[in-house]
Amino acid sequence: MKLNSDSSILITGGTGSFGKAFVSKVLNLYPNIKRLVIFSRDELKQWEMQQVFSPDKYPQLRFFLGDIRDYNRLQRALKGIDFVIHAAALKQVPAAEYNPTEFIMTNIIGSQNIIHACLNSNVKRVIALSTDKAAAPINLYGATKLCSDKLFVAANNVVGDSDIRLSIVRYGNVMGSRGSVIPFFLEKAKAGLLPITDEDMTRFNISLNEGVDMVLWSLDNCLGGELFVPKIPSYKILDLAEAIGPNCRTQIVGIRPGEKIHEEMITKSDSFSTLDLGKYYAILPSDCKLLNIYKDLNREFEPVPKGFSYNSGTNSSFLTVDEIRDLIVENVDNNFVPI
């Protein structure tokens, strides 16, 4: 089943950075789409989003107040929905360490609610957004997202004769997203001092538009049970500092609890069930059932080498200082000038 103008879509956490970009892209591609539901719990953010996407101009848009912890509310919201994008989550690493139960309730129990509600409706495709922190997690946030990933993969075992397929998209830092390092550095550069956690630190880099395009691709191409990972470049934290504040002082402040020096999206243990699809990787369930379906359908793929890992520190592609600056202008701040 392919996304088209007759489709109905629901996005959880739809008032976030990803949600707004996703809604904008879908309305651009399918201006007469049947229905597009923004499901979130913050009425102010929904009101603010309605000022950008006017209900008068986009009557197919629906703003549905609700929490993914509330199964009954989810089930009501999913009536008549074909496609679900699950972007709602609690995400701040330090907050997770201090409030573990809240993260478990939203990121794990909330995900299970979405799965059950989708299985009990006529939803056809579900794409859940994950994070690099779910690969070999060392903090509670990453652990809750790993649990969520496992739930969505395992849900494909109980779909019966239903046409529903559930898959996951995992990527690292979204350039310019709220709370990420680039807007943080842009603000700190105004004071002339950039705090560096560790001189060796690296990060993957993906733009919001690239993340949206990947989710749309996954909706059209998933078979159910894949965990898709994009092929994207890395940057060094010192190169980022040079790109934003070449005249700023730097200060080593040490990594935060639960933070990694390098991001990892595919571990060596994952390599035995990971396929190279060209633009993306796909981590498959280890039972080989999905792999056999890929073979039967003559899907183009290459198994990655055994022991392969996808790590921002050993990535084959790194952004230069000039490339980082160009991307900041393109994706974060049109008026950006190095300080």
Q: What is the 3-state secondary structure (H, E, C) of 293-314?
A: HHHHCCCCCEECCCCCCEECCC
Are 88 and 106 in contact by the 8 Å Cβ rule? The answer is yes
Q: Distance between CA 65 and CA 44 in Å, rounded?
A: 11
Q: Distance between CA 166 and CA 112 in Å, rounded?
A: 12
Reply yes or no on whether 236 is catalytic.
no
The DSSP result for 238-260, as a single string, is HHHHHHH-TTSEEEE--PPTT--
Among the options 20, 45, 91, 133, which is catalytic? Answer: 133
Angle at 21 between CA 20 and CA 27, to 5 degrees: 90
Q: Are strands 310-311 and 280-283 parallel, antiparallel or unpaired?
A: unpaired
The catalytic residue positions are 133
